[in-house]
Structure 1
Amino acid sequence: MEGKSKAGERVRIGILTKVFTTELVDAAIARHDRGERRRRLLPARLVVYFVLALCLFARESYEEVLRVLTSGIPGSRALTSVNRSSLCRARSRLGEEVLETVFRQVAGPLATPDTPGAWWRGMRLLALDGTQFDLPDSARNGDTFDGPSTTGGLPFGFPQVRAVVLAEIGTHGVLDARLGGYRDGERSLAYPLARSTGFGDLVIADRGFWSVEFAYAFTSTGAGLLVRLQSNHLGTVQEELPDGSYLSMMRPGKEVRLRAAREGRTLPKHTIYRVITFMKDGKVVHLGTTLLDPEEYPATELIALYRERWEIELAFDEIKNHLGPGGPIRSRTPAGVRQELWAYLAVHHAIRQFAHPTERRLPARQWTPTVFPT
């Protein structure tokens, strides 16, 4: 058993060294000018590998992670005599931006044309959603990120980071993410993620995201949208379509227009989108989509397609419970929290990159569209 354990450790360390090459890590360090200036300091490159290894071995102690790291990465012997407090100071000197850059250097699409579940009618399927990560209950984490509270404002549970993530449905590979506090809105965190979409992408999202601003941010890149609508986002009917769906129009409200003007942004006077209505578990469900042609994009297939959004929940489970500790992460400072979460996203993407060739050999997923009610 011990031999198998050590072999597994070598495989996981091998993932680090193959995906996060020394050239990639050094470029991220140089970009943020985080190289060590005194010879007695820990090399920044080793600190990056240590933070990544903390996420790869999330349930192990600092000491055990050091043992595994020094036995698997050349040049890491400098870490063997370093104590925990020195490592914490080294992480603080490194900062959060380096790990965010490392993540962004490896993040991106993984699906190939034959990846099961990754495509629909020539479009790459992406899911967008938010999740929360529990943090250690330190005063600084609580002050910076906040967390759940009673109606009277009394905090309970752990402080939490809110993350909004854009991921491929077929591979669970994360393309982009934004981190914020517990009370930051998912929609506002989602706007910048539009930069990671483009022509040929179909972004699927749950309730709470749709708005004129949201639709404009993503359609401006050429991406399509399929989003569950709240009842107050049905807009004004413009045209009934043969399949029972209809074209609708929504205008930005006055406050939205003023805010956009203050920020130097322009919004369209109105947005045209298609509304599809169906029954699920005895309840009426509305979907909004920018795919307007009912013949080219059948409503029954879009209804079935919306269910694929749940693949992103599996990605969250992989990050939190299979890769992560299944509870609060380690870091007790806000900068350390963000550093650690960017590392988790980077390591998860590396693992999905290695898993993807195996998954491609699985049989293709079968579509089972719900019958659209007339």
Structure 2
Amino acid sequence: MTASPDQVSLGVLLAAVDRDVIDTAIAACGVGAKRSDGKLPPRVVATLTMALCLFPDDDYEEVATKVTGSLSRFGCWDASWTVPTASGITQARKRLGPAVMAQVFEGVAQAVATSDTRGAWLRGWRLLAIDGFEVDLPDTPGNAGEFGYAGSGKHRSAYPKARVVALAECGTHAFLAARVGPYGTGEQTLAQGLYPRLLDDELLTADRNFYSWAAWDTAAATGAALLWRAPTQLALPVVTVLADGTYLTVLINPKVRGAGRRERILAAARDGLDIHPDEAHVVRVVEYDIPDREGNGTGELIALLSNITDPADARADELAGAYDQRWEEETANDQLKTHLRGPGKILRSRLPELVHQEIWAWLTVHYALSVLIARAAEAADLDPDRISYSRVLRITRRTATGTAGFSPSGLD
């Protein structure tokens, strides 16, 4: 399905980013500007920073020229103003700083799927996925020092790289939370900061690279449902075989020392006794085979861990199907990097603080597009996957234009 031009514009995108959220973020970060100080107002700078992410192939002044007409109709500035120079926009971005756009994203990024959104739920749980990706940055001393490179020596990457780990809603591809760090900071480390925001009506899927005792313990403490692939080397002793062929096992804290103590924990689990969560978690294991595509007998055994321990709450086939939805975050990453940004393109920002600002603006624009697609899908009673992201993005870019200028002052 496609969307018509009157359904999408920069104004519609900004409707997903409430002006009050921008103003609250600006006030919280202490970067407000007075009308009389002759500087580009922070609200305009935040809007322009998002527009720069919408038009990655265009320079600063061209982007400003393209979107000011649309934003004039949206009530953000007066059509009699003049377009600022590229250096003026850069200086304004420096004044805005890295924290405002992070707070804007956190202020707008909330659950998008409704009960009518197809592919977004497992019974009463909203399906989420966690994954990471890398972002190429301009090769400047500041970016190299802040973010680092992949590899070293002859095998060093051509550009510095930032690492992003994000939670995405599987049904809509909307990113709901993220952490940004240097390339050398591992995905598990960044992910640890995301687990505490989980809710008890969410089900988080995760690949085996995200499992650790600390990660599971932190995520489980929120009350959220978990469905993670077990690492190959993880010992999964059988505690109880359930009627559907799945079984219960015990994840024991590595800090629990001594074979005798570990055996007592296993015995308590077999007897159905309570186990302190600081020591261990009783979880359900769902195992199934993925046949090889080539037919050469190299299929793969998948072992899933879940804290949904009662088969009545979720059947084994439901859990396997829900885990398969984890790949929807790969689609979200592709939308962000290949379509919105462009394949092989580096970010604009040559300074580390502006890199952070740009990444959060980039995530915010993707979120706004995801909201737009989800609402269009619901109106047409379709799975959001059926609506072309590329098509919506092209229409948005085409309609988010207009030639009007703006002055460095004029908005609070």
How far 1:171 sits from its partner (Å)? 1.0
How far 1:255 sits from its partner (Å)? 10
User: 1:369 corresponds to which residue?
Assistant: none
1:197-276 map, 5 Å? 197-254=198-255, 268-276=278-286
What is the identity, as a one-letter code, of the residue corresponding to 2:66? Answer: V
3-state secondary structure, aligned to 1:284: strand
The alpha-carbon distance between structure 1 residues 147 and 71, as it changes in their structure 2 partners (threshold 3 A), is: same
The alpha-carbon distance between structure 1 residues 288 and 13, as it changes in their structure 2 partners (threshold 3 A), is: same
How far 1:21 sits from its partner (Å)? 3.8
1:133-212 map, 5 Å? 133-150=135-152, 154-212=155-213
How far 1:39 sits from its partner (Å)? 1.0
- 1:343 equivalent to 2:361? Answer yes
8 Å contact kept, 1:67–1:80: no
What is the identity, as a one-letter code, of the residue corresponding to 1:340? Answer: E
Rounded to whole Å, the distance in 1 between the matches of 2:334 and 2:217 is: 30
1:297-312 map, 5 Å? 297-312=314-329
Rounded to whole Å, the distance in 2 between the matches of 1:39 and 1:239 is: 70
What is the identity, as a one-letter code, of the residue corresponding to 2:373? Answer: A
Rounded to whole Å, the distance in 2 between the matches of 1:82 and 1:9 is: 29
Superposition TM-score, scaled by structure 2 size:
0.79
How far 1:113 sits from its partner (Å)? 0.7
- 1:98 equivalent to 2:100? Answer yes
What is the identity, as a one-letter code, of the residue corresponding to 2:161? Answer: Q
Gaps of 5+ in 2: 258-275, 293-298, 385-412
The alpha-carbon distance between structure 1 residues 70 and 278, as it changes in their structure 2 partners (threshold 3 A), is: same
User: 1:32 corresponds to which residue?
Assistant: 29
User: 1:14 corresponds to which residue?
Assistant: 11
Which structure is larger by alpha-carbon Rg, 1 or 2? 2
The alpha-carbon distance between structure 1 residues 226 and 247, as it changes in their structure 2 partners (threshold 3 A), is: same
The alpha-carbon distance between structure 1 residues 169 and 79, as it changes in their structure 2 partners (threshold 3 A), is: farther
Map Cα deviations across residues 265-303 of structure 1 (whole Å, 9 max, x no partner): x97111211222221121222111111112432212212
What is the identity, as a one-letter code, of the residue corresponding to 1:288? Answer: L
The alpha-carbon distance between structure 1 residues 179 and 255, as it changes in their structure 2 partners (threshold 3 A), is: farther
8 Å contact kept, 2:165–2:178: yes
Gaps of 5+ in 1: 1-6, 257-265, 366-374
Deviates further, 197-206 or 352-361: 352-361
Rounded to whole Å, the distance in 1 between the matches of 2:245 and 2:80 is: 67
- 1:289 equivalent to 2:295? Answer no
The alpha-carbon distance between structure 1 residues 149 and 255, as it changes in their structure 2 partners (threshold 3 A), is: farther
8 Å contact kept, 2:14–2:368: no
3-state secondary structure, aligned to 1:14: helix
8 Å contact kept, 2:64–2:83: no
The alpha-carbon distance between structure 1 residues 78 and 134, as it changes in their structure 2 partners (threshold 3 A), is: farther
Rounded to whole Å, the distance in 1 between the matches of 2:137 and 2:191 is: 22
8 Å contact kept, 1:210–1:233: no
RMSD between aligned alpha carbons? 2.5
8 Å contact kept, 1:9–1:68: no
User: 2:346 corresponds to which residue?
Assistant: 328
Map Cα deviations across residues 214-265 of structure 1 (whole Å, 9 max, x no partner): 1121221110111111112233332222333221112222399xxxxxxxxx
Rounded to whole Å, the distance in 1 between the matches of 2:371 and 2:346 is: 26
Deviates further, 40-49 or 295-304: 295-304
- 1:354 equivalent to 2:372? Answer yes
What is the identity, as a one-letter code, of the residue corresponding to 1:122? Answer: G
Rounded to whole Å, the distance in 1 between the matches of 2:361 and 2:230 is: 33
How far 1:76 sits from its partner (Å)? 5.5
Map Cα deviations across residues 146-165 of structure 1 (whole Å, 9 max, x no partner): 12214x57522321111111
3-state secondary structure, aligned to 1:300: helix
User: 1:42 corresponds to which residue?
Assistant: 40
3-state secondary structure, aligned to 1:208: helix
The alpha-carbon distance between structure 1 residues 81 and 114, as it changes in their structure 2 partners (threshold 3 A), is: closer
3-state secondary structure, aligned to 1:305: helix
The alpha-carbon distance between structure 1 residues 236 and 76, as it changes in their structure 2 partners (threshold 3 A), is: farther
The alpha-carbon distance between structure 1 residues 167 and 139, as it changes in their structure 2 partners (threshold 3 A), is: same
* Selected match of 2:116 from 110, 114, 117: 114
Map Cα deviations across residues 20-44 of structure 1 (whole Å, 9 max, x no partner): 3433322211111101266122111
How far 1:117 sits from its partner (Å)? 0.3
- Higher RCO structure, 1 or 2 (CA under 8 Å, sep 6+): 2
Rounded to whole Å, the distance in 1 between the matches of 2:215 and 2:81 is: 46
8 Å contact kept, 2:256–2:279: no
| Identity percentage of aligned residues | 36
The alpha-carbon distance between structure 1 residues 146 and 93, as it changes in their structure 2 partners (threshold 3 A), is: same
The alpha-carbon distance between structure 1 residues 50 and 226, as it changes in their structure 2 partners (threshold 3 A), is: same
Deviates further, 229-238 or 51-60: 229-238
The alpha-carbon distance between structure 1 residues 76 and 16, as it changes in their structure 2 partners (threshold 3 A), is: farther
The alpha-carbon distance between structure 1 residues 238 and 106, as it changes in their structure 2 partners (threshold 3 A), is: same
Rounded to whole Å, the distance in 1 between the matches of 2:80 and 2:25 is: 21
3-state secondary structure, aligned to 1:180: strand
